[in-house]
Every structure is written in structure tokens, then in C-alpha cells.
Amino acid sequence: MTKMNKENVTVLGVDPGYERIGIAVVKEVEGAKKTTVMYSDCFITSKDDTLNERIFQIGGEIEKVIKKYSPTHLSIEKLYFTNNQKTAMGVAEARGVIINQAKHAGLTVREFTPLQVKVAVTGYGKADKKALWYMVKVLTEMSKEAKYDDEMDAIAIALTAIATKGE
């Protein structure tokens, strides 16, 4: 795992999927009391499109966000096993294109499990979504309220990279 610089860190956080993808860019400036959420959204692909088309769209969206906000790191949730293998395969493909775009742009990639995200943001590995999102609001300065849970998760994943940057 690559250590992060302690000054002015900008992280692209992604909650991966192929239908709904949480995307956030957060910036930590040394000495600031809160981490700034520069951007957050939930990118949604159409169920009418093929998986290949959706993966292509996700890659394009990630590329646009990287070009606009110039993050130095990608923080992405690790894939965990699910009962639905078709869904897991699609999410794995989406993760692949997201990581590929990040590496192509020179970003350092860090991956975290849901447990690691909960511990880093709330201090408690069994925290529920409500507690996680409460802490996201406490730890960040946001110019707008997040509309989707995927968006809040992406912010939490980005915060995890900042909270664990020395590890």
C-alpha cells in the first residue's frame, strides 16, 4: 500500500457498480478543520444498455472527473462476495475499468473493504449506514446535500484513504 503525502491530498472515491456508481472527489488541506467535498454524484447507467455499453460509459465518466478535478489517488471499495454471481461479475468489470482509468491517469489506487470504511469513518466496524453518513457530514464540508446513498458511500470511501494515509 502506497503512503499518501500529508499536504493537500485530493482523493477520488468510488462506490463501484454498473447501474449506480457513487463518485466523490474530496480534498484535505493541511491545517483545515474539515475535508472539503469538491464533487459528489451518483452516475446512473440505463438498464436498456448492454453491460459492455454501461462499462464504456463508466470509464468515460471516471475519465471526465479525473480530468476536471485532478485527484492524486483513487479510493475504491473492494468487491465482496455476493449470492448473485451475475451482479458480482458486472461490478468486477466496472471496478476494472475504473481502476484502469485511474492508473492510466497516474493515480495511486487504494482499495478498502466495507469494514475498513466503517472503522476509518466512525471508529466502529459494525456501524450502520445512518452512523456512517452522520460522520461523513461531521467530517466534511459539503456545498450540497448528497442525493443518493451511493454518493455518501463514495465520500466515506474517499475519507478512508485520507484517514489511513500513513498506513
Instruction: Tell me which residue has cell 461490478.
Output: 91
Determine which one of 28, 41, 150, 153 is catalytic: 150
The answer to the question of residue 4 being in a domain is: no
| H-helix or E-strand spanning residue 111 | strand 108-112
Residues 6-52: tens digit of each pLDDT: 567 999 999 999 999 999 999 998 888 999 999 999 999 999 999 99
The answer to the question of residue 61 being in a domain is: yes
Active site residue 41: no
pLDDT at 161: 97
Determine which one of 28, 77, 151, 153 is catalytic: 77
Residue 128 sits in which domain range?
9-163
Helix, strand, coil abundance in the chain, percent, nearest 5: 45, 25, 30
Active site residue 77: yes
Active site residue 149: no
The answer to the question of residue 24 being in a domain is: yes
The predicted model scores a pTM of: 0.92
Q: Identify which of 119, 117, 98 has the alpha carbon closest to the alpha carbon of residue 161.
A: 117
Contact 43, 58 (CB under 8 A): yes
State the CATH number of the domain containing residue 146. 3.30.420.10
Determine which one of 15, 28, 41, 61 is catalytic: 15
Domain count, the chain: 1
